[in-house]
Amino acid sequence: MDSREIIARRAAQELNDGQVANLGFGIPTQAVNYLPEGVELIMHTENGAFGFGPKPSYQTANSDVSNAGSEPVTLLTGAACMPLAISLGAMRKGYIDVTVLGALEVDQQGNIANWAVKRNGKWWPGIGGAMDLTYGTKKIIATLQHTDKSGASKIKKHCELPLTGANCVSTIITDKAVFDVGDGILILREVYPGITIDQIREMTEAAFVVSDAFKEMVL
């Protein structure tokens, strides 16, 4: 199981029966494929669908029915498709219960940076609908790999990249751990099997405490 699948599987466990849930670009879009058995909710995608389901087979895929990452999805019974402006309005108005967003960095204040890297002196590609989601959604779950390619922590004391949203993240899920965001400090809730708390401390820049309910991930 690669790191992206670990994160998507664990993120799916945070979604509850009856919620309206948005899945952002990247790893989050895969969470719909790993929903716990019996959980029924309304999946929303920024580009205009309420009520989509898991990835279809190659034979049944329709290029006109896709998620925020332009990946094919299924439309479930009762699904609704709408213009982008209405979809964004629903995001801003608070109709979404929970959003799972991919991130470049998160920090112990619950800030998230997920839209920009600097190339040739310019920040790009653009902030997109994630900004609306961070301020219009009741609960934000950030998903990302724990470290970058050089081994540096992406779980920061303070985000260094331009923010998408401030003080908005409730839960952080990486390929190594699950944190809840407390009052200026993270709370380590779970670790990937075989990883120790000391190892998490070594790979995490942000300050954290260990939850009383601390356990290993179950995937």
Query: Under a CB-based contact definition with an 8 Å cutoff, are residues 59 and 21 in contact?
Result: no
Q: 8 or 68: which carries more pLDDT confidence?
A: 8
110, 34 contact by CB (below 8 A): no
What rounded mean pLDDT belongs to the chain?
A: 94
pLDDT, average across residues 126-149 = 94
**Does residue 102 carry a pLDDT above 90?**
yes
Tens of pLDDT, residues 70-98 = 899 999 999 999 999 999 999 999 999 99
Catalytic-role residue among 5, 37, 46, 205 = 46
Sorting pLDDT into bands at 50, 70 and 90, what band is 126? confident
Q: What are phi and psi of 175, to 5 degrees?
A: -75, -5
What CA–CA distance (Å, rounded) separates 105 from 86? Answer: 29
Band (121; pLDDT cuts 50, 70, 90): confident
C-alpha gyration radius of the chain: 17
* Alpha-carbon distances of 113 from 28, 40, 148, 164, 165, rounded to whole Å: 15, 30, 14, 5, 7
Within 10 angstroms of residue 128's Cβ, the number of other Cβ atoms is: 15
Q: Determine whether 46 is an active site residue.
A: yes
Question: Residue for token digits 């990883």?
Answer: 195
| Positive/negative CA dihedral, 162, 164, 167, 172 | negative
For 78, which DSSP code?
A: E
Residue range 196-213, pLDDT digits in tens? 999 999 999 999 999 999
Q: At 135, is the secondary structure helix, strand, or coil? A: helix
Tell me the pTM.
0.95
- What's the whole-number mean pLDDT along residues 103-125? 88
Q: So where are the chain's domains?
A: 3-216
Residue 91: per-residue pLDDT: 94
pLDDT digits (tens, 9 = 90+) for 38-59: 999 999 999 999 999 999 998 9
Length of the chain: 219
Question: What are residue 155's DSSP bridge partners?
Answer: 106
Is domain 3-216 given the CATH code 3.40.1080.10 in the classification? yes
The reported pLDDT for the residue numbered 123 is 76
Over pLDDT 70: what percentage of the chain? 100
Is residue 192 within 8 Å of 216, Cβ to Cβ?
yes
Q: State the DSSP code for 36.
A: P
